[in-house]
Amino acid sequence: MHYNKSKAQQKWKDRPPVVITADDRTPPERPIIRALRENTNSTADSAMLIRCDPKSHRRSGAAILILPGGNYDNCNLRFPLRVASWMSENGLVAYVLRYRLRSEGHYWPAQEEDCKDALSIIRQQAKALNVDPGKVGVIGFSAGGHLASVAATMFDADLKPNFQILVYATTNVETPLWDPWKARDGYPGPELNTVDKVNAKTPPLFAAVSTEDNITSYEENTRPYIEACQKAGVSTELVFKPMGQHGHAMVDTWTKPCEGWLHKHGWAVSASML
């Protein structure tokens, strides 16, 4: 479903341009940028997949798909490329998905379709990149955290990620965000509350949220999801500390424990190899 003009387009008309270069960290290798789908018109289909490879001696055999935030209306790539640099420094082949946006006329489930296509490409490329197809994870922020949790709880086995990292993520789509999400406006509807989709096949979880976050709060989003995972027997680890307001980005308070979690499970290289 598409639309030509909406309140969302007005809201984001002055959004920053898409940036494809990290701001204060240079990825270990030059990013490889491709259209998510071949033979598409970029004005009609803006989805892109950007890959950052670790140095050959640092490869852990794992890969990760990075899903940016932005309320499904905006997707500035500056921050997710910093995340890609960090992940590749820890030995993971890092992919950033620039999914299609509601503000550009792409209603849900366009973003879900893009995530599925990206995970399919990652597993198709796994052998050539010395990646174990059983070590493919997702990390999502805010709305991207919702998309990551959809992948972790709702995708079929051939696409489902093997681990998930949710940072100030939305899991309950009925809680207030910048604006309440309504399906009629092109957002995920209440059937996409991923807390309700957790089961024993949901992959291990690392979650981080600030005590100061009043947009995707711990009480309304992270805690219910964590509790659902624990009830289903899913391995979980949580960082819930003061880290600034929503969108606090990369701070050692959560990145260092996350590195330890990745290493513990064999998805990151040991510190001696960094």
Encode pLDDT of 222-238 as tens digits: 999 999 999 999 999 99
| Start-to-end CA span in the chain (Å) | 46
- Across 105-113, average pLDDT: 97
- Across 130-136, average pLDDT: 97
Task: Name the domain count of the chain.
Answer: 1
pLDDT of residue 136 exceeding 90, the answer is yes
Does residue 33 form part of some domain? Answer: yes
Does residue 272 form part of some domain? Answer: no
Does residue 2 form part of some domain? Answer: no
Res 272: pLDDT: 53
Does residue 26 form part of some domain? Answer: yes
Does residue 273 form part of some domain? Answer: no
pTM: 0.88
The Cα 57–Cα 60 span in angstroms is 9
Does residue 1 form part of some domain? Answer: no
* Cross-sheet strand order for the sheet of 63-67: 32-35, 48-52, 93-98, 63-67, 136-141, 163-167, 205-210, 236-241
Query: Which residue range forms the structural domain that includes residue 152?
Result: 7-267
CATH of the domain at 18: 3.40.50.1820
Res 228: pLDDT: 98
Please name the residues in contact with 125: beta carbons below 8 A apart, sequence gap of 6 or more: 131
Does residue 141 form part of some domain? Answer: yes
